[in-house]
Amino acid sequence: MASPFPVALPVSETRAHNDSPSVLMKVTTETSAKNQKILPQQGEPNILVTSALPYVNNVPHLGNIIGSTLSADVYARYSRTRNRNTLYICGTDEYGTATETKALEDGVTPQQLVDKYHAVHAKVYEWFQLGFDHFGRTTTPKQTEIAQDIFLKLHENGYLEEKSMTQLFCEQCTRFLADRYVEGICPKCGYDDARGDQCDKCGQLLDAIELVKPRCKVCSSAPIQKESRHMFLRIDNLQPLTEKWARAAAEAGGWSSNGRQITESWFREGLRPFSLTRDLKWGVPVPIKGMEDKVLYVWFDAPIGYPSITANYTDDWQQWWKNPDNVKLYQFMGKDNVRFHTVIFPSCLIGTKEPWTMLHHISTTEYLQYEGGKFSKSRNVGVFGDKAGELGLSPSVWRYYLLANRPETADSQFAWRDFIARNNSELLANLGNFCNRVLTFMKKYDLTVPEIPAGSELRTYKEGPLVAAPPAGEDGSASVIAKYVRDVNALLAQYIEAMEAVKIRSGLQHMMALSARSNLFLVEMGFDNTLFTERREQCDEVMLVTLNVIWLLSVLIHPFMPETCDSILKQLDAPPRAVPDDGRFQLDLLPGHRIGKAAHLFKRIDEAEEDVWRAQFGGSSDAKDAAKADAPAMSKKQAMKAAKAAKKAAEERNKVVVKNKTPELLDLEARVASQGDRVKQLKDQTKKEAEAEQKQKLEKETETELKALLEMKTELSELTSRLAKLEMDAEVPASAPAPQ
Ligand SMILES: [Zn+2]
Ligand SMILES: [Zn+2]
């Protein structure tokens, strides 16, 4: 599996850095090679991270990856950069009817099916560099042991109840038929090919025993009705305890609002007893006399995969899972999984009356869509995990794009144009440009970090953190360096705040803003050959500060793009560092330290690839086809439209572009975008409004909001040209050869 840690290179004699334990990362590839199991430590922060266990009968697509496994990976990696004891557990969920059905379709045994797909999942996640501490599966003896134990404790404590149910039984196949194994005539509309769970013609949800002339899906013979005994969880009796726990946990763990709402709605409706057992063969056997031929319901046993996979990692698994006072549990999933993690699984744990480690923070996502539609394996639309590698791009580019578009509060889109644009204008032009300019410039210094010039303000900082300059406006005389350091500290603080609250997209934005601010710093200092030849001391200061910012950036980047972090560490020849404990930037890479060889972090992607990739992976090309159809004979209206488009394209070309966006600019851009949405929304609303008075009111409001939008746009265009001019005045083009 991919390493959860940044790469620690062999230590060379040319290193000079602050090596205090608070500066360096505690666990790296080097220490982990000693193969010690990670266990929680008394009196230290201990973080247990899980991702929803992916169901094993398919290949995961990009939406599945960003929804849980990648998001959890980012948080676990972040937690390790804070030197917290961290364990990230995931694995495949392998039992249940869906696996049985799929195996039947494929003509293999369930075991063969899950073996095949477990390997497929593991390979995909490795390619995406998901650093699990252990990636396991639910079909293990430990799973049986722990699931049966929890089940029996619930029974002992009086939370299980035996009930009889009438079910369809196929005498030919000698088995009870799950709803999806039965077909027949719909009792509501007469459609003769309805499924046991739903009629595809009239959409009615059905119970298999309601079907007229039911038939077994496998052998087509008519099933009989037969009584079957099952064990029901009296979750209604557990509700008061679960509710009390959930309210406190939501508060303490800062649950997202959709997480809270979904949970509350279940409590409001009232929890109803449900059967924990199934008449299936593929699952954990029910540990009750007379029920050995039944299995535990897959949704009861799936979350038990978290502790059981941990138990396959270490015999001391209870130190993680039965240690509520010393371990904080963070769980990541798509929103459709919330109730199992906030209501059902916690109820089961509470019902055992044992001291389980309970959910602390839940992180849920909405859905990622593909080019305006859904991912579909059967229609061959969208990027599935096993194909992403075929484009020859670094996993970092994929991870960056998915995380920048993480559907945190609403559904988001995967779009090829945006994918390419973000690589070229953000990764390459912002982050890559900053690191590369500084690192290649080090040739002039024989790769060695210069001494702090005599009389430099940096001297006062040598023994400690750089002191932040006074806030803007309070002291206009603060030096360019002091102002830069103030901004570095502010952005670092915002990054930490966002990541602590598991606001991953925001954390990523602040990391990129720090890089953008650093590009601006180079511009402000007039960073070029003349600085080196004519103002050498200032040039030395720039190198000292920016090399240290690059080392700092490497650790902020690590959660999002581990490969990029490793590449920076190699270029710096520095060990993996931690996020500063006190949240303050300081000079930890010292004068005399010799860096390694500079290399490009990112590559430009040709815009022409957009069409190639869309053709390869599917997606709507309606717009393009329409444009082609227009070509031969153009109506007047079409000609006007074309002229307008040409004008817009020309404007686009002449537009001032700021390569290195400042936090201020990014913020203003975001505000313009959201104000634009607001105006558009109001216009739509006005159009739909039938009532005259209301319509007038809306029109008035639109006018006010539009005015505000135009003011913001003016402000934006002024700021943009100011920054662009600053860049043009001083910048060495990114494409120019490195100065010799
Ligand atoms: Zn019907
Ligand atoms: Zn049958």
Token pair belonging to 156: 């002992």
702 CA distance to ligand 2 centroid (A)?
64
Give the global pTM: 0.81
Token couple for 169: 């039984």
Supply the pLDDT for residue 704: 80
- Among 626, 629, 442, 624, which residue's Cα sits nearest to residue 540? 442
Distance 441 CA to ligand 2 centre (A): 74
Query: In one letter, which amino acid is 408?
Result: E
Ligand nearest to the CA of 104: 2
Residue 278 CA to ligand 2 centre (angstroms): 17
CA of 113 from ligand 2 middle (Å) equals 21
Ligand nearest the Cα of residue 199 is 1
Distances 716 to 666, 671, 722 between C-alpha atoms, Å: 10, 10, 10
Chunked mean pLDDT (size 10), the chain, 740 residues: 89 92 86 82 96 91 92 98 97 91 89 96 96 97 98 98 92 86 92 87 84 92 94 97 97 90 93 91 94 92 97 98 98 91 97 98 92 82 87 95 93 93 96 98 97 84 51 63 89 96 96 97 96 96 97 98 98 97 88 96 95 83 38 49 52 55 74 80 81 83 82 77 62 35
Distance of CA 223 from the midpoint of ligand 2 (Å)? 7
Distance 181 CA to ligand 2 centre (A): 9
- Tell how strand 175-176 and strand 46-51 pair up: unpaired
Q: Quote the pLDDT of residue 678.
A: 80
At the topology level of CATH, where does 416-572 sit?
A: Isoleucyl-tRNA Synthetase; Domain 1 (1.10.730)
Q: How close is the Cα of 153 to the center of ligand 2, in Å?
A: 36
**What is the distance in A from the centroid of ligand 2 to the CA of 218?**
5
**What distance in angstroms lies between residue 189's CA and the mean position of ligand 1's atoms?**
4
Q: Do domains 43-157+299-365 and 416-572 have the same CATH topology?
A: no
pLDDT recorded at residue 641: 60
According to the model, what pLDDT value does residue 200 have? 84
Residue 457 Cα to ligand 2 middle (Å): 84
Q: Please enumerate in sequence order all residues whose Cβ is within 8 A of that of 655, keeping only pairs 6 or more positions apart, or say none.
A: none
Best CA proximity match to 542, nearest among 430, 457, 658, 432: 457
pLDDT of residue 419: 96
- CATH number of the domain at 43-157+299-365, out of 3.50.50.60, 3.40.50.1860, 3.40.50.620, 1.10.10.10? 3.40.50.620
Q: Which two tokens stand for residue 25?
A: 């990362």
Domain boundaries, the chain: 43-157+299-365, 416-572, 662-740
CA of 196 to the centre of ligand 1 (A): 11
Chain position carrying tokens 């023994």: 463
Rounded to the nearest angstrom, the distance between the alpha carbon of 190 and the centre of ligand 1 is 6
Span from the CA of 198 to the centroid of ligand 1 (angstroms): 8
Distance (Å, rounded) from C-alpha 702 to C-alpha 658? Answer: 31
| Residues ≥6 apart with Cβ < 8 Å to 206 | 179, 186, 187, 188, 194, 195, 196, 197, 198, 199
Closest listed ligand to the CA of 203: 1
Separation of alpha carbons 556 and 494, rounded Å? 12
pLDDT for 372 equals: 83
Dist. CA 68–CA 52, nearest whole Å: 6
User: CB neighbours of 649 closer than 8 A, spacing ≥ 6?
Assistant: none
Q: Counting ligands in written order, which one lies closest to the CA of residue 185? A: 1
Q: How close is the Cα of 176 to the center of ligand 2, in Å?
A: 9
Nearest ligand, CA 177: 2
How far apart CA 230 and CA 171 sit, in angstroms, is 20
Cα of 457 from ligand 1 centre, angstroms = 80
pLDDT at 477: 63
pLDDT tens, residue by residue, 314-326: 999 999 999 999 9
